[in-house]
């Protein structure tokens, strides 16, 4: 009986051993094995869009945890941040900030240490702007349990490396709405646009082109700052492609405005003809470089930055060489332009070095250094424009003063200092409107005998003394003119105009006797006086007609015996009819 019972016991023991071995084999089989992710690692992989997140999130097989090279042929890219060790093991981040590139969808999954998970899904437009328009900000999903890892799945993204190189932060650098960064950017834009007011004033005053190019530079600087600082996409519904075009081309157009400003601003004497042609060529090259690299980037491939910055360095070298030579030749404006453009040029040079020599590690976010460089250039060039305006204003004021002096001299009689006939004809209409409605034509009697007997120098002194006697002095209602030779004309206003004219006529004799010793006999004057107040507003009462009437009265006085006045008051236009001029006695 004991032998019968031993057979089943042996079979059971055999079955137990087989089961144990089967369990060992299953435990060691590849199907159930899971390769762990290195603690605190950042790993990534690429695969077809049909591959689910759950397959990739827990197994490190096929992932790369060194470098940031992706298979760009694949549509779906996975990035996994492990929080088991490192700074995020105790306090997990809540946001990720990364370089802004277009994508179709970004899925972020938080994996908990107790098996829980949470998910957030973003489209490109859903992500928030970071510190500039070149940065994106996305909020991470949160768990109630400790977070073991954060997995990001990028579908149809242009640059998955940006997520690997992204920065995990507890608090975002900017808020979801306009923050201090955006307000400061708006303030800078306002400062850039402020000089435009003076530019348009200067253009209107000077009729020079350089204020317009300075205004164009200010507009482009404001647009560039709004674009790179995130202000433009924040306040507009532009597509990302449109934002990039504005960001790139506004910089190129700003540089073009800088070259045109220098072309028109630097003093013409200090820019050679060859330099002017070079500046025009630089404008064309800048436009070609900007349009080609912005609108047709695929034509350059990975060499686009090398081409763009290579051309830029050539332009900068030519620009500073031209301005340096202008300064050596004595230009006062060139130093302003050199100093103003130097900070922005330095940033461009650093960017170029980072492109050509990446091993130096000179990469940096140029957004705000560039903004401050633009502010410096706007201030420097605005001061230069103001200085140029004051210089041109002083030169024009001197020219106007010289012209006025020449005009005054051309209207003054050289011998007597009285106004001449040219001044009389130019001012006559205005003087009539001011109320000068009386005219007196005065002529020295028998003046030819003085010249014949005593000589022309004595005759000149006689004329000068007569002019002083007829001059108004402080009298505001009388103006004296020398018409020619020994003939004078007075314009008068006021009720006592006739008495004033007669008093001046009589003063001629006394003044000549007192001042010209060679004259031993009284030199008298005859006068024709005309009051035309009643017809002053009539078109027929012009200077030539009234002067002919006064001249007729003068010679009537001479014919009546000289040393007297013949006067007439005109009451009708018909009284201006010409009368034959009598011969002088």
Instruction: Tell me yes or no: is domain 42-169 CATH 3.30.70.
Output: no
pLDDT computed for residue 437 by the predictor: 95
Contacts of 528 (CB under 8 A, 6+ apart): 440, 441, 550, 551, 552, 553, 554, 555, 556, 557, 565, 566, 567
CA dihedral 418, 422, 428, 434 (to 10 degrees): -40
At residue 433, the pLDDT reads 93
**Per-residue pLDDT, 30:** 44
Note whether 374 and 192 are within 8 A (CB).
yes
Strand partners, 439: 491, 530
Residue of 159, 167, 154 lying closest to 123 (CA atoms): 154
Q: In this predicted structure, what is the pLDDT of residue 572?
A: 65
Question: Which of 484, 504, 495 has the alpha carbon at shortest distance from 438?
Answer: 495
Domain boundaries, the chain: 42-169, 186-395, 419-576
Contacts of 509 (CB under 8 A, 6+ apart): 522, 523, 524, 525
- Do 186-395 and 419-576 come out as alike in CATH topology? no
Architecture of the domain made up of 419-576: 2-Layer Sandwich (3.30)
* pLDDT of amino acid 2: 43
Class for domain 186-395, per CATH? mainly alpha
DSSP-derived letter for residue 177 is S
Residue 305, burial from CB neighbour count under 10 angstroms (0-12, 13-18, 19+): middle
Strands 167-169 and 438-444: unpaired
From residue 338, how far is each of 27, 128, 144, 274, 282 by CA, in Å? 75, 38, 59, 19, 16
From first to last of the 585 residues of the chain, give the pLDDT tens digit.
444 444 556 665 665 555 555 555 444 444 445 677 888 888 888 888 776 666 556 667 778 887 767 777 788 888 888 887 767 777 788 899 888 888 888 999 988 888 888 889 998 877 877 766 678 888 899 888 888 888 999 988 878 888 888 888 888 776 655 567 778 888 888 889 988 888 888 888 778 889 999 999 999 999 999 888 878 777 776 777 788 888 889 999 999 999 999 999 998 889 999 999 999 999 999 999 999 999 998 898 889 999 999 999 999 999 999 999 999 988 988 999 999 999 999 999 998 998 898 878 777 778 888 889 999 999 898 888 888 778 777 777 776 776 666 556 578 888 998 999 989 998 999 999 999 999 999 999 999 999 999 999 999 999 999 999 999 888 899 999 999 899 999 999 999 999 999 999 999 999 999 999 998 889 999 999 999 999 988 887 899 999 999 999 999 999 999 999 999 998 865 556 555 555 444
Q: Which residues pair with 527 in a beta bridge?
A: 442, 565
pTM of the complete model:
0.54
Choose among 151, 55, 177: nearest CA to 96.
151
> What is the per-residue pLDDT across 128-145, written as a single tens digit (0 to 9) for each?
777 666 788 888 998 888
Supply the pLDDT for residue 487: 96
């Amino acid at each position: 009986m004991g032998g019968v019972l031993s057979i089943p016991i042996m079979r059971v023991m055999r079955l137990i051993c087989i089961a144990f071995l089967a369990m060992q084999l299953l435990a060691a089989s590849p199907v159930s094995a899971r390769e762990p992710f290195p603690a605190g690692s950042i790993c990534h992989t690429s695969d077809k869009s049909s591959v689910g997140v759950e397959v990739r999130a827990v197994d490190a097989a096929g992932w790369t945890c060194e470098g940031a090279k992706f298979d760009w042929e694949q549509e779906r890219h996975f990035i996994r941040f492990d929080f088991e060790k490192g700074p995020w093991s105790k306090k997990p981040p809540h946001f990720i900030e990364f370089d802004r590139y277009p994508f179709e969808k970004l899925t972020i999954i938080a994996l908990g240490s107790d098996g829980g998970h949470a998910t957030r899904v973003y489209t490109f437009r859903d992500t928030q702007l970071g510190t500039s328009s070149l940065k994106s900000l996305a909020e991470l999903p949160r768990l109630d349990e400790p977070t073991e890892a954060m997995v990001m799945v990028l579908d149809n993204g242009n640059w998955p490396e940006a997520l690997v190189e992204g920065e995990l932060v507890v608090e975002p650098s900017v808020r979801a709405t306009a923050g201090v960064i955006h307000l400061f950017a708006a303030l800078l834009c306002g400062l850039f646009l402020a000089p435009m007011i003076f530019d348009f004033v200067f253009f209107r005053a000077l009729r020079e082109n350089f204020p317009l190019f300075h205004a164009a530079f200010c507009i482009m600087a404001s647009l560039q700052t709004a674009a790179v600082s995130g202000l433009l996409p924040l306040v507009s519904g532009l597509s990302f492609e449109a934002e990039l075009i504005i960001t790139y081309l506004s910089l190129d157009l700003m540089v073009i405005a800088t070259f045109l400003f220098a072309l028109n601003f630097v003093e013409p004497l200090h820019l050679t003809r060859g330099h002017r042609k070079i500046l025009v060529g630089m404008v064309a090259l800048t436009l070609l470089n900007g349009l080609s690299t912005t609108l047709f980037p695929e034509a350059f491939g990975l060499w686009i930055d090398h081409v763009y910055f290579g051309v830029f360095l050539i332009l900068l070298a030519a620009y500073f060489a031209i301005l340096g030579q202008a300064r050596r030749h004595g230009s006062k404006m060139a130093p302003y332009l050199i100093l103003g453009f130097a900070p922005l040029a330095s940033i461009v040079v650093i960017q170029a070095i980072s492109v050509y020599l990446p091993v130096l590690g000179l990469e940096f976010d140029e957004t705000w250094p560039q903004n401050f460089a633009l502010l410096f250039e706007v201030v420097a060039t605005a001061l230069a424009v103001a200085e140029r305006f004051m210089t041109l204003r002083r030169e024009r004021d001197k020219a106007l003063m010289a012209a006025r002096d020449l005009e005054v001299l051309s209207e003054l009689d050289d011998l007597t200092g009285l106004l001449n006939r040219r001044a009389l004809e130019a001012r006559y209409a205005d003087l009539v409107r001011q109320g000068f409605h009386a005219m007196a034509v005065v002529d020295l009697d028998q003046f030819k005998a003085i010249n014949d007997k005593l000589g022309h120098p004595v005759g000149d002194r006689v004329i000068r003394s007569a002019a002083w006697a007829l001059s108004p002095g402080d009298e505001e209602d009388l103006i004296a003119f020398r018409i020619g030779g020994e003939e004078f004309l007075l314009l008068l206003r006021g009720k006592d105009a006739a008495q004033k004219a007669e008093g001046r006529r009589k003063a001629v004799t006394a003044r000549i006797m007192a001042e010209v010793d060679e004259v031993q006999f009284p030199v008298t004057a005859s006068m024709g006086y005309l009051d035309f107040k009643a017809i002053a507003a009539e078109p027929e009462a012009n200077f030539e007609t009234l002067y002919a009437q006064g001249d007729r009265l003068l010679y009537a006085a001479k014919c009546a015996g000289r040393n007297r006045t013949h006067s007439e008051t005109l009451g009708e236009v018909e009284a201006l009819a010409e009368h034959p001029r009598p011969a002088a006695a």
